[in-house]
């Protein structure tokens, strides 16, 4: 299971501020892994507003079903996350496990089970024994502190090779508020509402409905714009919690997503989500290159997105990137298979600053040597101009290497 | 470029009958490869009826555009196929190349250019020089014979590790007629009308419109039911030619697809197409296992097909097969992401005769040891029952191995 840290990893885990009203602790519950933390308990102050977006899988995990129902109240007092077992495709036993886990956590935090959010990540199809949480969660509740964030970021990792976090501090009506988020994910990454797991916290006093609107607006261009392997997970979960603690410093309560005082917060939230999403791709199993694929000139944003994702998901494109080969022919094939309006003879393609194809054929000034040198960069930018309209979208992916196959050929057994 | 022959290859190239009215020859034109044939010329007797199905790519190759137009007449006198260069995404130069190639072949065979069908396979985005065919095609026309079929099957290979052929002999109204077909394909295989390239010939006197109807009916369950890597090619081409030579033995002319005298021919054609399609998957780049994925109990055939192909295309499922891991959790995830009606708690999954999951959870009688032993077979059968309706479909794929990445990481450069 142990793999070397991704060469695309950030140099260090970022400095992240505490969020007033958020405390946490981690523990070793021995769910699957030995000698590492695998449980995270987050304690949230009373009054915390919550929203989430989840996998579009028709076979969601039991915790996803639980959170969808629990979030209807718009309030949360705690979050329990475990790694090593996804509690997905576990039938009635899986439902019993989430009910029991929520009850244990609620007792530990002194709240109702419906105020507990749950997320599990790891192997699918294996029963998860809720008794693993007995004692562990009460102990976590007693130890919970406001930092450091690297602990929770580590406890939720599976095949991730580094912990992922991002934060921002902005002002609402002149009052500073903070955003801090963690994420995990390395494989089964083609989020279609969210990535595997990500939890974002703020002390701003923002109502649950507004939080949901903010997530919906940001996720399309961040977590839903990344792919490692086109395999949407059963457990994708992105939740945003607002403790409202900044109200004590005079921050106004926000109950309307269109409130102009939210402008800086919206931008900062999107930056945090995009940062976390990029970190997930950069930890893509076996990844050696990080690639942004920008489609311009499409007939609509939706069309640009489908084309960008068709390229980002193409195994042949991704293996070419692994081979540091500027194989624009495979980009044309992936554009063609997307089923979106495209005119072969108007296509132009760039690798970084180098235009390799124009008007449906190789650029007359193409230099194999120059482009090959560019392909050795860890971070690569591909641009595809369709020449049809104003639609534009950027998707992010990583290369497909032998290590991806190695990691996934022996993950379970 | 040279890779060991797939372990899934048939023991030998099959014995295949000559088709009266069909002659061919191959040559070394030096298009990309050295010391191997890379051009095939097929000469068809006057009166040959022709039909074809092609890629649904929005960026089709120049030869695909050419054939679509040329087939409107329903007649063909020759076929030129080259390997090593797909003449795809080659702009106006690519169009000039197909026009010049057809003219050279028409002169060699004494027919009109519009009676020449063209197909090219290999690298995308590189100009193809039609002058490579000068002299070569006239020489082929002079040498053309009715066999053996292994020559054409070899000349059209790219990363294929073995030549692919299949045939059948059946009766129409008591008169024996034959079908012989060849195919190539190993990567960029997710056909959406046909596979990379396949050419099927018969001496039966069947009108072009009927040939087209037969192809449409058969291709959904054969070439359109396979995938190696989900990458639909720009050049997918499947053509069926009927010389009508069997009319001289008294075979009646068939001009209606619903003619009951076609029943045995229809079944034989579907068997030949399925055989060729399976051979393409078994030569999937790096393949070590061949997997049939049967979905039953779906709400419709179309729904069963989308779910079967979602599993067949899942990189995580395919790497698990490479690891000989009966990872049904990844099957659940792939069913879930298909977006089709599915009820997690009614799902049942089998590997071969072994039921591993039932009612949305692990089968109580599941034996890791028994199933692990089964997974070591080269040919594997997966069945997924959704428990919702009568829709059923089988898709075929291969595993995703490190060799796939190796082959595709250095194909072009």
Nearest C-alpha in B relative to A348? B89
Q: In this predicted structure, what is the pLDDT of residue A289? A: 95
- How many contacts does A have with B, using Cβ atoms within 8 A? 254
Nearest C-alpha in A relative to B345? A91
B61-99 as b/e: b if 16+ CB within 10 A: bbbbbbbeebbeeebbbbbbbbbbbbbbbbbebbeebbe
The answer as to whether A15 is a domain residue is: no
Give per-residue pLDDT as tens, B231-260.
Answer: 777 777 888 989 999 999 999 999 999 999
Q: Which of B402, B57, B48 is nearest to A319 (CA)?
A: B402
The answer as to whether B398 is a domain residue is: yes
Q: Quick one: tokens of A30? A: 């021995």
For residues B278 and B311, membership in a common domain is answered with no
The answer as to whether B114 is a domain residue is: yes
Q: In this predicted structure, what is the pLDDT of residue A411? A: 52
Distance CA(A62)–CA(A119), nearest Å, equals 9
Q: In this predicted structure, what is the pLDDT of residue B1? A: 44
Tell whether B68 lies on the interface with A, counting CB pairs under 8 A: no
- In this predicted structure, the answer to whether residue B194 has a pLDDT above a threshold of 80 is no
Band (B411; pLDDT cuts 50, 70, 90) = low
For residues A256 and A335, membership in a common domain is answered with no
Tell whether A95 lies on the interface with B, counting CB pairs under 8 A: no
Which CATH number does the domain housing residue A372 bear?
3.10.20.340
The list of chain A residues with pLDDT below 70 reads: 1-3, 189-196, 410-413
CA distance, residue A407 to nearest chain B CA (Å): 9
Q: In this predicted structure, what is the pLDDT of residue A57? A: 83
Is there a contact between A325 and B412 if contact means CB atoms under 8 Å apart?
A: yes
Distance CA(B308)–CA(B300), nearest Å, equals 12
Asked about B202 being catalytic, the answer comes back as no
- For residue B206, the 8-state DSSP code is B
Is there a contact between B361 and A89 if contact means CB atoms under 8 Å apart?
A: yes
3-state secondary structure of A264: helix
For residues B267 and B294, membership in a common domain is answered with no
Give per-residue pLDDT as tens, A228-263.
Answer: 777 777 777 888 989 999 999 999 999 999 999 999
For residues B278 and B297, membership in a common domain is answered with no
CA distance, residue B181 to nearest chain A CA (Å): 26
| CA-based torsion, B154, B156, B161, B163: positive or negative | negative
Look at B105 and B410; give whichever has higher pLDDT.
B105
Antiparallel, parallel or unpaired: β B391-398 and B226-227: parallel
Interface TM-score (ipTM) > 0.85: no
Distance CA(B206)–CA(B243), nearest Å, equals 8
Domain closes at, from B282, B308, B329: B282
For residues A204 and A308, membership in a common domain is answered with no
Run of H or E residues at B18: none
Domain closes at, from B222, B247, B282: B282
For residues B260 and B328, membership in a common domain is answered with no
Catalytic residue, candidates B48, B195, B227, B394: B195
For residues B234 and B261, membership in a common domain is answered with yes
For residues B265 and B329, membership in a common domain is answered with no
CA distance, residue A349 to nearest chain B CA (Å): 12
Give the pLDDT mean for B128-152.
96
Q: In this predicted structure, what is the pLDDT of residue A20? A: 94
Domain closes at, from A215, A248, A282: A282
Range of the domain at B32: 22-282
The answer as to whether A16 is a domain residue is: no
Give per-residue pLDDT as tens, B48-83.
Answer: 999 988 888 888 889 999 999 999 999 999 999 999
Tell whether A68 lies on the interface with B, counting CB pairs under 8 A: no
User: A residues 253-312 near B, CB within 8 Å?
Assistant: none
For A162-176, B95-109, B182-196, which range has the lowest pLDDT when averaged over its residues? Answer: B182-196
The answer as to whether B86 is a domain residue is: yes
For residues A116 and A86, membership in a common domain is answered with yes
Look at B220 and A257; give whichever has higher pLDDT.
A257
The answer as to whether B32 is a domain residue is: yes
For residues B257 and B359, membership in a common domain is answered with no
The answer as to whether A14 is a domain residue is: no
Number of structural domains (chain A) is 2
Which CATH number does the domain housing residue B241 bear?
3.60.70.12
Q: Please tell me the pTM assigned to this model.
A: 0.82
Q: How large a percentage of chain B has pLDDT more than 70?
A: 96
For residues B221 and B294, membership in a common domain is answered with no
Strand boundaries in A69-157, DSSP class E: 78-85, 116-123
Distance CA(B233)–CA(A334), nearest Å, equals 8
For residues B265 and B309, membership in a common domain is answered with no
DSSP per-residue string spanning B322-383: HTT---HHHHHHHHHHT-S---GGG-EEEETTEEEEETTEE-TT--HHHHHHHTTSSEEEEE
- In this predicted structure, the answer to whether residue B413 has a pLDDT above a threshold of 60 is no
Nearest beta carbon to residue A332 from set B89, B342, B401: B89
The answer as to whether B3 is a domain residue is: no
Is there a contact between B58 and A124 if contact means CB atoms under 8 Å apart?
A: no
Q: In this predicted structure, what is the pLDDT of residue A195? A: 45
């Amino acid at each position: 299971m142990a793999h070397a840290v991704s060469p695309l990893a950030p140099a260090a885990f970022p400095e992240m501020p505490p969020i007033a009203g958020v405390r946490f602790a981690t523990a070793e519950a021995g769910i699957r892994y030995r000698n590492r933390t695998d449980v995270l308990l987050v304690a949230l102050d009373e009054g915390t507003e919550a929203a989430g977006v989840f996998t579009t899988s028709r076979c969601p995990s039991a915790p996803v079903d639980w959170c969808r129902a629990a979030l209807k109240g718009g309030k949360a007092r705690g979050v329990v996350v475990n790694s090593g077992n996804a509690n997905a495709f576990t039938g009635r036993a899986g439902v019993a496990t989430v009910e029991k886990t929520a009850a244990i956590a609620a007792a530990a935090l002194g709240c109702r089970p419906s105020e507990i959010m749950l997320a599990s990540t790891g192997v699918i199809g294996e029963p998860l024994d809720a008794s693993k949480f007995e004692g562990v969660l009460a102990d976590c509740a007693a130890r919970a502190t406001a930092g450091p964030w690297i602990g929770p970021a580590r406890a939720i990792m599976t095949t991730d090779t580094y912990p992922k976090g991002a934060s921002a501090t902005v002002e609402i009506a002149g009052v500073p508020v903070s955003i801090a988020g963690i994420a995990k994910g390395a494989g089964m990454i083609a989020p279609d509402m969210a990535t595997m797991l990500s939890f974002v916290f703020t002390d701003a006093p923002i109502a649950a409905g507004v939080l949901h609107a903010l997530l919906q607006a940001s996720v399309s261009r961040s977590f839903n714009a990344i792919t490692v392997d086109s395999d949407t997970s059963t457990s994708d979960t992105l939740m945003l919690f607002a403790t409202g603690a900044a109200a004590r410093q005079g921050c106004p309560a926000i109950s309307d997503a269109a409130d102009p005082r939210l402008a800086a917060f919206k931008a900062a939230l999107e930056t945090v989500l995009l940062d976390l999403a990029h970190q997930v791709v950069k930890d893509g199993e076996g990844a050696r290159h990080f690639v942004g694929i920008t489609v311009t000139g499409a007939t609509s944003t939706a069309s640009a997105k489908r084309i960008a994702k068709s390229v980002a998901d193409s195994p042949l494109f991704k293996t070419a990137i692994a081979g540091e080969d500027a194989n624009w022919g495979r980009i044309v094939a992936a554009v063609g298979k997307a089923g979106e309006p495209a005119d072969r003879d108007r296509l132009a393609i760039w690798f970084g600053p180098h235009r390799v194809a124009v008007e449906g054929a190789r650029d007359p000034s193409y230099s194999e040597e120059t482009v090959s040198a560019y392909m050795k960069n860890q971070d690569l930018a591909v641009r595809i101009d369709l020449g049809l309209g104003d639609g534009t979208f950027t998707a992010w992916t990583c290369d497909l290497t032998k290590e991806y196959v190695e990691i996934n050929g022996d993950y379970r057994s």
